[in-house]
Amino acid sequence: MATLAVGRGSRERLFYTGVAIAMFATVFLGFARSFFLRPWFPDLPAPTEPVFFVHGVVFTAWLVLLVVQPALVAVRRTDLHRKLGWLGAGLAVAMVALGIVGALTAARRPTGFVGIPIPPLQFLIVPLFDMVLFATFVALAIARRRDTQSHKRWMLLASVNLLAAGIARWPFAMMAGGPPVYFGLEDLFIVALAAWDFRSRGRLHPATLWGGLAIIVSQPLRLVLSGTTAWLAFAGWAVGLLG
């Protein structure tokens, strides 16, 4: 039985590490030309405001931490894992602040969001919803930090929720399909987590069920609300807060 438990634990760490690496690769591909490999693509349009450089560094640190944390558990450094967890909480707060400021900054530009051919006030609903769900999921992960299975799922879902921004900027013709394509590819990570649940538990974990459902339901809801008079009025007001 002990051997079986160890084997299951190793497979679980491999799953979470593999998904974290896949998420990093997803974001890297989307932002390679405008951030990670910017010197090699000097002619490609990219944000010039300093907030986006800081935003990129902090979000990259979050993804790196997502890869490192299960590796620390694998080598039995749970003490360091817990200490870095509080660093992650601080990064999450910074991410929400930078995400909101960055979204409002992009929406205020006459040209809107770089690489996104959607009216900026309409598209603003996507990153703002991302920040609301991200903050909620991270808060739940912190609240359930002593429940390992809930904690790791909420953290994973918080990160999955952010992937559409990177996917939207993939250099493929299929991206012309717009938000339904971005969201559909993002949801594949939720499908992977659900498949892991069924394999390892025989049923969906409540965090996977409710967190995944919140992300999936929010996606068409954003599209429905984005063109409404109420949303456009709110978006215009929010953008005006930057002066």
SS3 content of the chain, % helix, strand, coil (to 5): 80, 0, 20
**CA 190, CA 185: separation in Å to the nearest integer?**
10
pLDDT at 8: 60
pLDDT at 71: 76
- Identify whether the C-beta of residue 103 lies closer than 8 Å to the C-beta of residue 127: yes
**CA 234, CA 243: separation in Å to the nearest integer?**
15
Handedness of CA 175, 196, 95, 124 (dihedral sign): positive
- Identify whether the C-beta of residue 158 lies closer than 8 Å to the C-beta of residue 119: no
Q: Print the SS3 string covering 57-81.
A: HHHHHHHHHHHHHHHHHHCCCHHHH
Q: State the virtual CA torsion across 114, 120, 174, 184 in degrees, nearest 10.
A: 120
Q: Which residues of the chain have pLDDT under 50?
A: 1-6
Residue among 166, 139, 170, 132 at smallest CA distance from 154 = 139
Q: For the chain, what is the mean pLDDT?
A: 89
> What are the extents of the domains in the chain?
2-229
Query: How confident is the model over 31-56, as pLDDT tens digits?
Result: 998 899 988 988 888 888 999 999 99
What is the token pair recorded at 79? 């003490």
Environment class of 26 (CB within 10 Å of its CB; exposed 0-12, middle 13-18, buried 19+): buried
**CA 17, CA 34: separation in Å to the nearest integer?**
26
pLDDT at 1: 40
> What is the pTM (predicted TM-score) of this model?
0.90
- Identify whether the C-beta of residue 235 lies closer than 8 Å to the C-beta of residue 106: no
